[in-house]
Amino acid sequence: MNSKYEKMIENLKSLGSVAVAFSGGVDSTFLLKAAKEALGNNALAVTVRSCIIPSNEICEAEEFCKSENIRHIICDVNPLDINGFADNPTNRCYICKKEIFSLIKQVAAENGINAVAEGSNLDDNGDYRPGMKAIHELGVLSPLQTAGFTKQEIRDVSEELGLPTWNKPSFACLASRFVYGEKITAEKLERVGKAEQILRNSGFKQFRVRIHGDIARIELLPEDFEKMLKMREELYASIKALGFSYVTMDLQGYRTGLDYKQREMITFCFLAAQGGCEPQLTSHAAANMRIGNDKIFLIKIISQCLPYIGYPRSLNALRCVNSAAEKEDF
């Protein structure tokens, strides 16, 4: 067996007991399997059920715990009730993780469990993940990182162990489909969840439906573009019927782990393409400039967008950039 896995088993044994924050994804399933092997009945799975997690993910988590005879506790949480979450600030993930892992620590203590662990791996260190700050503050352990596991290594060893998740597509909570600053509501979350279920039912494996106001931006693997185009009319009608005014496909394709500068640039571009919304466009122009996407850079971005969004919207975006630069003294 993999030496990193053996090292992790020994580290887990030293804890005496552990509660694993279990989503049913690739990483947490792998970690829970190791915890069960290391600690037997002293390993506890804790899953949070909420409006930002599709119900099928919860069902899969339940099924795995039953098949492996692992103690499993499901806690119901409504993130929209967490102060500040629905406003969707740049530290949204921190706000949510702080609340959720505080609850998991409480559950662990109530069940006589010594430690709480979660499934971040080494690759996660390169992404913008404000939630990791909350995890560190609360003293939650990250055994996969400690053992030095990358995502691909986790998939490889998971396959060796016969875990059903070894080739499961990566998943992030539905709140991650919103650009920072866009209000998160139960209705919008449901709309995004249903749109992604339509894609899932149509045979797509790795994708995201990002929401920008009333625009749905679909990210697919480039190899799935042709399939999408063949199903274009059917999928457009189904997703638009959920309440979107526009349904678009991102030509750059599926991607994850965008840093803050990239997220702000994309948000600015979509607001520019939408037209109007001057307050939001000015706000995001200022946000771009504060983090290093300066005025000259934004003007170049507008010029690249011009053939696709037209002169009126390009001029509107330029006015917003100038307004932001004057207000922020850039």
Which residues are CB-contacts of 248 (< 8 A; sequence separation ≥ 6)? Answer: 215, 216, 217, 218
Average of per-residue pLDDT across 205-225: 93
Look up residue 300 and give its amino acid: K
Which residues are CB-contacts of 38 (< 8 A; sequence separation ≥ 6)? Answer: 9, 10, 12, 13
pLDDT digits (tens, 9 = 90+) for 21-30: 999 999 999 9
- Local confidence band at 287 (pLDDT 50, 70, 90 cut-offs): confident
How does strand 71-76 pair with strand 215-220?
A: unpaired
Give the CA count within 13 Å in the CB-facing half-sphere of 193: 18
Structure tokens at 226: 């042709």
The percentage of residues in the chain with a pLDDT greater than 70, rounded to a whole number, is 95
- Local confidence band at 150 (pLDDT 50, 70, 90 cut-offs): confident
* Topology, domain 260-328: AhpD-like (1.20.1290)
Q: Which CATH superfamily groups domain 3-161?
A: HUPs (3.40.50.620)
pLDDT digits (tens, 9 = 90+) for 53-97: 999 999 999 999 999 999 999 999 999 999 999 999 888 999 999
When comparing pLDDT for 98 and 268, which is higher?
98
| Alpha helix positions (H), 82-163 | 92-110, 131-137, 143-147, 151-161
- Local confidence band at 259 (pLDDT 50, 70, 90 cut-offs): low
